[in-house]
Amino acid sequence: MKRSGLLIVIGVMFVAAIAAQSRQSAGTAHTGKAFRFNKVKEGVYHAVGTGSLAVVGNSSFIVNDNDVIVVDDHVSPAAAWVLLEEIKGVTNKPVTTVINTHFHFDHAHGNQIFAPSVQIIGHEFTRRMLLNNSIGMPLYQNYVTAMPGQIDALRKRIASETDAAAKAKLQTQLQVAENNLASQKELKPTPPNVTLTTQMTLYRGSREIQIRFLGRGHTAGDVVVFLPTEKVVMTGDFLTSGLSNMSDSYPEEWAASLDALKKLDFDTVLPGHGDAFTDKAKIDYFQAYLRDVWSEVGRLKKEGVSAEEAAKRADLTKHKDHFPIQGPGVPPIAATRIYELLDAAKR
């Protein structure tokens, strides 16, 4: 082979190597670790974002004798990609299984990076939603359409910021936002390839991993992952450390479904947002909130108030000791959802 030919071959190989990596995911660049891995029991980790990459929800992972099971995979292919990279710092065992607690973008939009041989398990409803334009729904649309404006606003603030430390902080935020947008552009919603409707149990050596649907609540298809020996439950957004989003919820049924959660024998909750916790009273507080949000918004609807106005006026301040509530009002998406459910019930 002539020298120039050899150089071309090497050049092509180099380009191919770069392409293979960048094809995996755009927007993975970040500084430092993207995740804090909190080990809660032997082989059981809660993964919480550090802020150096947009990950939004939490994930968890379980290191077994021969494999790793990941529960939820974040807001983008990039976030899931980096999660896998950082898990390699804990174990070299392969990820064979992913469990989606529900279909929302901040928990299931990393699905596409997994090889077809990886089992992605979720509720039948989760599969249906990810197959049928879940990204056309307001929850994701509101999120993604706001991004260019947020990026512009950050650029303007950086231009006018004179304090060096504040400027550097804003620059990091800009990088995080730009990388997230780049990854969202590559998004291909990918549904679970294994589904359940009530319960499924995985066995890995002596470890038992129960995947359970406890009734409609945060969505029509949330599942929790329960490790009966370790007494750990991964709850996604069915139960978080704060107030869960209500855009696709059934608030009244949710409170009842949480009774089924209370019957499981666990001592540690790994939620989809916020830090892990052990205080089971949080379930009572959240049930009380759900029942009140339902009755308060329902009362305003009966008075003939618009959903938009009800969102401003619904007064849940009596729950402020347990949740970050500053004054009257609920997220508009929650009021709209309750109006929809009440209208549907009349039909």
Which stretches of the chain bind Zn ion, using CB under 5 A? Answer: 57, 106, 237, 272
For 270, the 3-state DSSP assignment is strand
- Alpha helices (H) along the chain: 3-24, 77-87, 105-108, 124-131, 138-145, 147-160, 164-184, 251-262, 281-302, 307-313, 332-346
Amino acid at 229: T
Q: How far is the CB of 167 from Zn ion (least distance, A)?
A: 31
**C-beta of 230 vs 237, nearer to Zn ion:** 237
**C-beta of 27 vs 272, nearer to Zn ion:** 272
Q: How far is the CB of 98 from Zn ion (least distance, A)?
A: 16
3-state secondary structure 285-310: HHHHHHHHHHHHHHHHHHCCCCHHHH
Locate tokens 């998004």: which residue? 187
**C-beta of 107 vs 207, nearer to Zn ion:** 107
Q: Are 86 and 34 in contact (CB under 8 A)?
A: yes
**C-beta of 108 vs 297, nearer to Zn ion:** 108
Residue closest to 184 by CA, chosen among 143, 245, 244: 143
Q: How far is the CB of 236 from Zn ion (least distance, A)?
A: 7
Q: How far is the CB of 158 from Zn ion (least distance, A)?
A: 29
**C-beta of 237 vs 248, nearer to Zn ion:** 237
**C-beta of 204 vs 218, nearer to Zn ion:** 218
Q: How far is the CB of 330 from Zn ion (least distance, A)?
A: 17
Q: Are 131 and 191 in contact (CB under 8 A)?
A: yes
**C-beta of 190 vs 244, nearer to Zn ion:** 244
Report the distance separating Cα 124 and Cα 216, nearest Å. Answer: 13
Report the distance separating Cα 21 and Cα 314, nearest Å. Answer: 49
Q: How far is the CB of 203 from Zn ion (least distance, A)?
A: 28
Q: How far is the CB of 218 from Zn ion (least distance, A)?
A: 9
In this structure, what token pair is assigned to residue 47?
A: 């993964």
